[in-house]
Amino acid sequence: MIPAILLTSRNSISTSFLVMSVFHQIYMFHKKILLDYVHNEVTRKWALIYFKVLLLIMAKDTIVYFSLVSL
């Protein structure tokens, strides 16, 4: 679904916000799962930090791949 929206979008800024909102929803969904299944507080914090970094890298790569911003 995201590639179809990205290819038909005319405004790169609004599409970038769309990509970021989708990845934010993914993060919030998986955060609840991690909070339920990871019981050690330190491990939970590090898992959430690493997961957030992974999603930020994936969002950046999605935006760059579809040429929504020029680097």
In degrees rounded to 5, what are phi and psi of residue 51? -65, -40
**Cα distance between residue 13 and residue 21, in whole Å:** 12
Q: Which pair of structure tokens corresponds to residue 21? A: 């909102």
Q: Is the pLDDT of residue 22 over 90?
A: no
The pLDDT of residue 70 is above 60: no
Q: What are phi and psi of 7, to 5 degrees?
A: -75, -30
Report how far residue 3's alpha carbon sits from residue 11's, in angstroms, rounded to the nearest whole number. 14
pTM for this structure? 0.69
What tens digit of pLDDT does each residue of 24-62 get? Answer: 888 899 989 988 998 899 999 999 999 999 988 988 888
Sign of the CA dihedral running 56, 53, 45, 33 = positive
Query: Which pLDDT belongs to residue 49?
Result: 93
Rounded percentage of the chain residues whose pLDDT exceeds 90: 24
